Amino acid sequence: MSDTTRSSRTVIVTGAAGGLGRAFAEAFARLGDLVVIADIDEAGALRAAGELTAAGLRVVGTGVDVTRFDSARALASFAGDAGGGTIDVVVNNAAIYATLTRSPFAEIDEAEWDRVMAVNLKGPWQVTRACAELLADGARIVNISSATVMSGSAQWAHYVASKAGVIGLTRVLATELGPRGITVNAVAPGFTLTEASHGLIADAGSYGVDRGAIKRAIQPDDIVGTVLFLASPEAAFLTGQTLVVDGGRQFL
């Protein structure tokens, strides 16, 4: 996709104070888009936005609780005001991940289950419906799922179930928003080396590498290209799909 012939877009990335979300935000900004970094950690969102702005990119930050519609609606209004009234791309990336502990399904705390579902599954629904009226015709929505859905990763039932729900939500949204030319797709990354992943597993750099067709760890940049593609004009006829980006650790 050429960045010399396209007009600037307004892009929302949730959960973008760090990790994959920040990588997505920076990549869109480097294409010339106006990017709204949104995160439950408002200070972190503002800090990330300030750092990218200092690098000459068009980025603004704001806080959001994706589990609350009023907060998601405030985010949509903030993005619309910043970008001239419409929203062109939404990347639903916010999720609970690094703070989870692995437990057999029968031992998962009910409150933790509910919180994971609220953020990981309810969140994309809340943000998308809050943005719906401001979405430009032909807008792009990219939901971040997980390759753990395909493997059924043991002792992580709440996380896997929430990310499986994201795939189902993606298909419904694609059907309902398709008449407006809006595409909705999901990306399912494998275990990717972010600061959160390093905190979750001691040997994160080698985890799963032996199972991949490509024998190396997954880096954030490996996921970024797929998200940019799904948000591009070249993907205008691709919708309701889930792309697994894991270096061939599992084939569907």
**pLDDT per position as a tens digit, 111-162:** 999 999 999 999 999 999 999 999 999 999 999 999 989 888 887 899 999 9
* Structure-block tokens of residue 199: 């905190």
* C-alpha 136: how far from chain center: 19
Distance between the two ends of the chain, CA-based, in angstroms? 27
Q: Indicate if the pLDDT at residue 238 is higher than 80.
A: yes
Average pLDDT of the segment spanning 222-241: 97
Question: pLDDT tens-digit profile of 44-62?
Answer: 999 999 999 999 999 999 9
Q: What percent of the chain has pLDDT over 90?
A: 75
pLDDT at 156: 87
Amino acid at 119: V
Q: pLDDT class for 82, splitting at 50, 70, 90?
A: very high
pLDDT grade, residue 4 (50/70/90)? very low
Residue 3 is predicted with a pLDDT of: 44
Sheet-wide strand order for 34-39: 59-63, 34-39, 10-14, 87-92, 135-144, 183-189, 242-245
Catalytic residue among 159, 169, 183, 242: 159
Angle at 126 between CA 120 and CA 128, to 5 degrees: 100
Average pLDDT, the chain: 91
C-alpha span between 143 and 124 (Å, rounded): 7
3 C-beta neighbours (distance < 10 Å), count: 10
Mark whether 159 is an active-site residue: yes
List the CATH code of the domain at 10-245: 3.40.50.720
| Across 104-110, average pLDDT | 94
- What is residue 195's predicted lDDT score, i.e. its pLDDT? 66
Question: Residue 39's closest CA among 58, 57, 25?
Answer: 25
- Domain extents in the chain: 10-245
In angstroms, the CA 148 to CA 208 distance is: 12
CA–chain centroid gap for 238, Å, is 18
Q: pLDDT, tens digit, for every residue of 158-184?
A: 999 999 999 999 999 999 999 999 999
Largest CA distance in the chain: 54
- How far is residue 242 from each of residues 28, 128, 150, 176, 205, measured CA to CA in Å? 20, 17, 11, 17, 25
Sign of CA dihedral 190, 128, 72, 82: positive
DSSP code for 55: T
Instruction: Please check the confidence at residue 30 and state whether its pLDDT lies above 50.
Output: yes
Buried b / exposed e across 217-232, counting CB within 10 Å, b at 16+? bbebebbbebbbbbbb
CA angle 86, 68, 163 (to 5 degrees): 90
